[in-house]
A = this chain, B = another copy of it.
Amino acid sequence: MSVLFTNALVVTMDDALTVHENGWVHVEGTTIAALGSGTPPEVPGAEIVDCGGDIVMPGMVNAHCHMGMSVFRGLGEDVDDRLYRYILPLERKFVSAEMVRVGSALSALEMIQGGITTVADMYYFETEVGDVCDKAGLRAIVGQTLADFDPPDHRNFDEGFARVEELVDRFAGHPLVMPSIAPHAPYSTGRETMARIALWSADHPDVPVQMHLAESSLEVKWALDTHGKSTVAVTAEAGLLRPNLICAHCLQLDDADIRMMSEHQVCVVTNPRSNGKAGRGIAPVEKMRNAGLPVGIGSDGAMSGNTLDLFSQFAPVSMFAKLFAGSRKPLPAVDVIRMATIEGARTLSLNLKTGSLEKGKQADLIRISLAAPRFHPIYDPYSALVFAAMPSDVTDTMVAGRWLMRERKVQTLDVGKTVADANQIARQFKAEMDRIDRQAGVEEVRP
């Protein structure tokens, strides 16, 4: 298959931040064969897509997600104890391979519509997530979660490891779906199991490790009470601060933690909307990036962040950096788009394959219409992408040369069925929430 995009504002996100006005991109099979500006080349047999001045840019990297959880979207919003009141009981009762498949399909659908081409996921029954991403056509890192709090798909760490091994076997050599091991967090994995995972990881250097790190003050307290040091230091002690470790959240860090993370060359994912909505705090993104840590952007699960596009994260990540510094200057718009594309890919060690439009890289790209009046005038395309663009502006999504969405029509999933399946599960959840509320003897706890 050969496709030639013409008449586009090509935002490449290469090292030189090349932008081709009146640009073109030639996709051949799964890869970008060539790109440039001015008169496009003659490509016999290529399908010509005249972009009419639209932006063509790298598909975005959602570097932290729990795809299965979209069926929990906005559940118990604003209820302070919703995790223990609703979510954990519902997870124990309802999380199954089937639920994960339905939730992940809804998430995949929304991400394709929102211009995401790569996602890093961690949840349960993760082979299901891998199958959904395979079908949807998304590039994905799928991480089997390990945790000690009686999670839905393993009774102990041995069973958890068995699930990881199954996942690794299943997706070994898959062109798009990459298996991953995902200790839930230091406090819910424990130092000894983290050490076991570190050894396993030494034997599997190509399998990314994903973990929530320094997310809450409770975690900080756990580390201090149990081990007398920071949660980052405990993780380092266990040998798990390794270059293939992808750390999500990273809110509760001091300078020594950041230095330690930098020395061990870990990668970071910030989830500003999820953190902000929980009132948890603001990640020191500028500090981490200045210390040389690559920082990607994640939506977190829809339960926490509600929407799974990255546009919804741009204003928060940007504002938080500016508020943190008390100035308009930090984290300029171009850096936000870097984080959403090439830096996100680097966070997942996928930067040689995706995250920028360059000759020889995978054809993971999106087209963004500038038709909406809210874009205009445009003084700077990065500012327009960060502060004016929305998921509805994405018209086309392509991964490895395959159209996942064309002219707003998703090609790989059935929209109506996917939404209906999720709503069917939500009806069960609502009934159970009502039961929980009745049992608690509270007429109406939700605001």
Contact = CB atoms under 8 A, between A and B. Distances in A.
A173 interface: no
A109 B373 contact: yes
Nearest to A76: B379
B276 A328 contact: no
Nearest to A392: B392
Interface in A304-323: 306-309, 312, 315-316, 318-320, 322-323
A418 to B, nearest CB: 7
A273 interface: yes
Interface stretch (A91-99, A191-199, A383-391): A383-391
Contacts of A383: 74, 77-78, 306
A200 to B, nearest CB: 35
A391 B374 contact: yes
A447 B379 contact: no
Nearest to A423: B377
A376 B423 contact: yes
B78 A376 contact: no
Given A319-B277, A392-B390, A328 B82 contact: yes
Interface in A95-129: 106, 109-110, 113-114
For this complex, into which size category does the number of interface residues on chain A fall? Answer: 35 or more
A315 B312 contact: yes
A113 B388 CA distance: 14
Contacts of A333: 77-78, 447
A296 to B, nearest CB: 20
Contacts of A360: none
B376 A106 contact: yes
Contacts of A380: 74, 77, 446
Interface stretch (A8-16, A56-64, A153-161, A278-286): A278-286
Contact of A78 (B280, B329, B378): B329
Most buried by B among A387, A388, A418, A446: A387
A233 interface: no
A299 to B, nearest CB: 11
A277 B322 contact: yes
A338 to B, nearest CB: 11
Contact of A323 (B281, B332, B390): B281
A109 B319 CA distance: 26
Interface string A141-166: 00000000000000000000000000
Nearest to A306: B387
A374 B315 contact: no
Contact of A329 (B79, B391, B419): B79
A363 B357 CA distance: 49
Contacts of A387: 74, 77, 277, 306-307
B377 A328 contact: no
A172 interface: no
A73 interface: yes
A71 to B, nearest CB: 6
A182 to B, nearest CB: 24
A325 interface: yes
A365 interface: no
A79 B322 CA distance: 12
A399 interface: no
What 7 A-B pairs come out closest when comparing CB atoms?
A: A276-B319, A377-B426, A392-B392, A279-B322, A306-B387, A332-B447, A78-B332
5 contacts: A74-B378, A307-B374, A307-B388, A332-B447, A373-B415
